Amino acid sequence: MRDEHRRTHRHPLLRRGAIIGAAVMAVVLVLGLLAYIKLNGNIHKLDLAGELGVRPKSQAGVNAQTDLPPMNILVMGSDTRNLGKGVSGFGSAQDIAGARSDTTLLVHLSADRKSALVVSIPRDTMLKGPASCKDKNNDIATWPMRQFNANFELGGPACTIRTVEQNTGIRVDHFMVLNFLGFEAMVDALGSVPVCVPKAVNDPKSGLKLPKGRSEVTGAQALAFVRARYTLGDGSDLSRIDRQQAFLSSMVQVATSSGTLLRPDKLFRFLDAATKSLTTDPGLGDLNSLREVAQSVQGLSSSQIRFLTAPTQPYSPNPARVEFTPKASALWEAIAKDDPLPGTGSKKAPTGPATPAPTQEPLIVTPDKIHVSVINDSGVSGIARQDAGDLQMQGFQVDGYKSGSNPHGGVIVSYSPSKADSARTVAAAFPGAKLKEDDLLGETIEVSIGSNSPNVVAVPNRIGTGPLPTHTLTASVPTTTPTFKARAASADICSMN
């Protein structure tokens, strides 16, 4: 009887405990679901698939260990002022177009997910941009030169992506647009971020006030710090980029430091700020997609995240602007192929099982039935005319030759899909040439002669038998490996360079 009495008194307590536990779990699940719905609903999605025209093909494969390809994300900081109080996002191309791209970063995640490279593209860079941002079919050959950040103002993210892809040969897998208010809110969600200045700053224009040395800033001061152009550094955009990279390094350290994002309240505030101000492509347009990207790089330390600026030099027609140097081509090629940063001495990890080289197919189109145009992108004067003459001797119909403005290595043979067999005959005249399909080309095959490209050789099905002349002129240029100065995200904020 005593035992039965104990059981009758104990069961209600156990039941109450079970009910309370279940209630707590239910509350947690409901709150978690509500948080997910809220954060997921914050993200603005923008599908640009129909606005990008012909795009570069991905040049790198899937890593054998991670089973992932490399990923290139173009991050655009919008300086739109069309944001009312409390409005920190925009969700259509019309909302974005007309704003200016204040900062543009190309983020490259390696296929092995052991490194991340963040490349700043200076806003003052002079590049070829689409003649019409609304016409996805116009070719880069017809594009005018203009300041890089004008593309965002003229046509939003699509125009900027096309400009980056066609000038670098890198395929942009995803994009993000972040506005001013979002940047401020993200910093505030972290609490504060340390900055460092060589002397005291008091800028009435931006409201930036900082003592000499190290200090902590919150949202508004952080924005003033990364945007100030005349009170810090030498007043140039390149100097401001150095400061932005130092700040982002500091921000990475704070975000990944022990305990900062382990607190649910801080984590929610940070994600709420980030997603509320974010416009992205559908491929990154939900929390699950963003989570998968975050999980793929969760093993990265801050020392494996590096920042650098695209190599530039003064632009001759206007020294107040800059242009890419030939050295930039090595950077773009390394990113496109997911190779290590040139000059680092690292070796690329294998991207999967090796496949045998394809068997050489017979050339079925003779040179006399092929029209070609030769473009000199090597920087060696006279090489296009020389190669055009050697092609003509074999029967090729040369429509012309000219100087180009797209420096690269080797020979690229571009062709329309219907001229694939003709392109193989042209490529046979240049050992090691790369074939590139281009939907915008017509009957004529384009041959781009880059640095260190081979001289023309006789093709098996040539017209005539006379030997090709011996030339002393070659497209060879010094083969020194370029080096790049990159800043690790683990660097101290007071080390600005």
pLDDT number for residue 184: 84
Binned at pLDDT 50, 70 and 90, residue 258 comes out as low
Across the range 235-242, mean pLDDT stands at 78
pLDDT number for residue 466: 87
- Number of helical (H) and strand (E) elements in the chain, helices listed first: 11, 21
Across the range 300-304, mean pLDDT stands at 81
Residue 149 DSSP code: T
| Largest CA-CA distance found in the chain, in angstroms, rounded | 118
Does residue 420 or residue 302 have the better pLDDT? 420
Binned at pLDDT 50, 70 and 90, residue 378 comes out as confident
Name the strand (E) or helix (H) holding 9.
Answer: helix 2-42
DSSP SS3 for 241: helix
pLDDT number for residue 169: 92
pLDDT number for residue 233: 67
Q: Which of 31-45, 85-99, 244-258 has the lowest mean pLDDT?
A: 85-99
pLDDT number for residue 17: 54
Across the range 197-205, mean pLDDT stands at 84
In the predicted structure, residue 261 carries a pLDDT above the cut 50: yes
Q: Which of 26-30, 182-186, 226-230 has the lowest mean pLDDT?
A: 26-30
For residues 479 and 162, what is the distance between their CA atoms, to the nearest angstrom? Answer: 30
For residues 398 and 418, what is the distance between their CA atoms, to the nearest angstrom? Answer: 19
In the predicted structure, residue 357 carries a pLDDT above the cut 60: no
pLDDT number for residue 394: 95
Across the range 83-94, mean pLDDT stands at 38
Binned at pLDDT 50, 70 and 90, residue 26 comes out as low
DSSP SS3 for 207: coil
Burial class of residue 309, CB neighbours in 10 A (0-12, 13-18, 19+): buried
For residues 292 and 164, what is the distance between their CA atoms, to the nearest angstrom? Answer: 25
Binned at pLDDT 50, 70 and 90, residue 236 comes out as confident
In the predicted structure, residue 199 carries a pLDDT above the cut 50: yes
**Hey, what domains does the chain have and what are their CATH numbers?**
45-343 (3.40.630.190), 367-449 (3.30.70)
Backbone φ and ψ of 333, nearest 5° = -65, -40
In the predicted structure, residue 497 carries a pLDDT above the cut 60: no
How much of the chain exceeds pLDDT 90, in percent? 28
In the predicted structure, residue 91 carries a pLDDT above the cut 80: no
For residues 36 and 3, what is the distance between their CA atoms, to the nearest angstrom? Answer: 48
Binned at pLDDT 50, 70 and 90, residue 87 comes out as very low
Of 75, 68, 489, 104, nearest to 292 (Cα)? 68
Residue with tokens 């200016």: 100
For residues 58 and 169, what is the distance between their CA atoms, to the nearest angstrom? Answer: 9
In the predicted structure, residue 92 carries a pLDDT above the cut 90: no
Q: What is the pTM of this model?
A: 0.68
pLDDT number for residue 346: 53
Across the range 183-202, mean pLDDT stands at 86
pLDDT tens across 171-187, in order?
Answer: 999 998 887 777 888 88
Taking phi over 0 as left and psi of -120 to 50 as alpha, with beta for the rest, 438 belongs to beta
Across the range 63-92, mean pLDDT stands at 65
Please list the residues that pair with 128 across neighbouring strands: 145
Beta strands in 79-203 (DSSP E): 101-109, 116-120, 126-128, 145-147, 174-179, 193-197, 201-203
For residues 187 and 61, what is the distance between their CA atoms, to the nearest angstrom? Answer: 36
Binned at pLDDT 50, 70 and 90, residue 260 comes out as low
pLDDT number for residue 491: 85
Q: Which of 147-161, 176-190, 450-464, 478-492 has the lowest mean pLDDT?
A: 478-492
Mean of all residue pLDDT scores within the chain: 80
pLDDT number for residue 254: 84
- Over its C-alpha atoms, the chain yields an Rg (Å, rounded) of 28
pLDDT tens across 144-155, in order?
Answer: 999 999 999 899
In the predicted structure, residue 287 carries a pLDDT above the cut 50: yes
SS (H, E, C) 426-483: HHHCCCCCEEEECCCCCCEEEEEECECCCCCCCCCCCCCCCCCCCCCCCCCCCCCCCC
- Say if residues 66 and 296 touch (Cβ distance below 8 Å): yes
Cα angle value 68/295/355 (rounded, 5°): 10
pLDDT number for residue 451: 85
For residues 492 and 302, what is the distance between their CA atoms, to the nearest angstrom? Answer: 11
pLDDT tens across 46-75, in order?
Answer: 899 888 888 888 888 888 888 889 999 998
Does residue 102 or residue 159 have the better pLDDT? 159
Binned at pLDDT 50, 70 and 90, residue 352 comes out as very low
pLDDT number for residue 293: 79
Does residue 470 or residue 301 have the better pLDDT? 470
DSSP SS3 for 150: helix
- Say if residues 250 and 493 touch (Cβ distance below 8 Å): yes
**Contact partners, residue 232, CB within 8 Å, separation at least 6:** 197, 201, 225, 239, 240, 243
In the predicted structure, residue 241 carries a pLDDT above the cut 60: yes
Does residue 59 or residue 456 have the better pLDDT? 456
Cα 53 off chain centre by: 18
Residue 45 DSSP code: E
For residues 227 and 391, what is the distance between their CA atoms, to the nearest angstrom? Answer: 53
Binned at pLDDT 50, 70 and 90, residue 95 comes out as very low
DSSP SS3 for 259: coil
Backbone φ and ψ of 439, nearest 5° = -65, -20
pLDDT number for residue 93: 41
Of 487, 490, 495, 3, nearest to 245 (Cα)? 487
Across the range 15-28, mean pLDDT stands at 56
Of 256, 283, 251, nearest to 46 (Cα)? 283
